[in-house]
Amino acid sequence: METKLNQNAKATCTLLFNGDSFIGALIEKYNELLDKGMEEVADYPDLVFRVRTVKNQINYAILDIAKKEVDGERGAIMVKDGKRIIKPEYPDLVFRVRTVKNQINCAILDIAKKEVDGERGAIMVKDGKRIIKPEIEETLAEFLNVCELYGVTRVHEWHTPPREFVTKYRDFLKEKTDS
């Protein structure tokens, strides 16, 4: 009968002798063993904590591999509808990217509001009328969506709730347009 220790030793040897070619299988094997181990120690909170700690380290390694390789079978990026997106099996990475992008969107909106007209401004002239740039409307909608999705309660150093920020922003833009 093969023990867990023997299984771990075999998995480690596989990694040492075959390098990166078997790392995905190795990680899957460790996760499988840890899941079984979790069931066996379920009545012992300190052991459950230890098993979870090891499992978290392995999951971090998976995420680290995915970030380094980016494309490919183990990578975190896939192509969907002609766009490179993060695979759904990496929710932590999706969260990080979306929240950072939301901060950038907030900066874009602030710049567009300050400059109003021009290349980086929020308003453009079309057919002789001043209108809101479509990309600004899209950025506002995406900004609010991400804020609500991830529970952001304040914008700009805890001053304004996201929905209020967007409402005031749109009111400002209406004053600056011909509509």
Span 129-148, average pLDDT: 94
14, 7 contact by CB (below 8 A): no
Let me know whether 59 and 114 are in one domain: no
Let me know whether 109 and 62 are in one domain: no
Residue 25, pLDDT score: 60
Let me know whether 165 and 107 are in one domain: yes
Residue finishing a domain among 80, 100, 131: 80
Let me know whether 96 and 155 are in one domain: yes
Residue 123 in this model has a pLDDT that exceeds 90: yes
Let me know whether 70 and 101 are in one domain: no
Residue finishing a domain among 16, 49, 80: 80
Let me know whether 49 and 103 are in one domain: no
Residue 144, pLDDT score: 95
Let me know whether 120 and 170 are in one domain: yes
Let me know whether 99 and 31 are in one domain: no
What span, in angstroms and rounded, lies between the C-alpha atoms of 174 and 168?
10
Show the 3-state SS of 49-108.
Answer: HHHHHHHHHHHHHHHHHHHHHCCCCCCCEEEECCEEEECCCCHHHHHHHHHHHHHHHHHH
Span 104-108, average pLDDT: 87
How does pLDDT run across 25-84, given as a tens digit for each residue? 656 666 677 777 777 777 777 777 777 777 776 666 666 666 666 566 666 667 777 777
Q: Structural domain of residue 29, as residue ranges? A: 4-80
Span 160-167, average pLDDT: 94
Percent of the chain with pLDDT over 90: 25
Number of domains comprising the chain? 2
CA atoms within 13 A on the CB side of 166: 17
* Assigned domain for 85 exists: no
Let me know whether 94 and 169 are in one domain: yes
Residue 170 in this model has a pLDDT that exceeds 90: yes
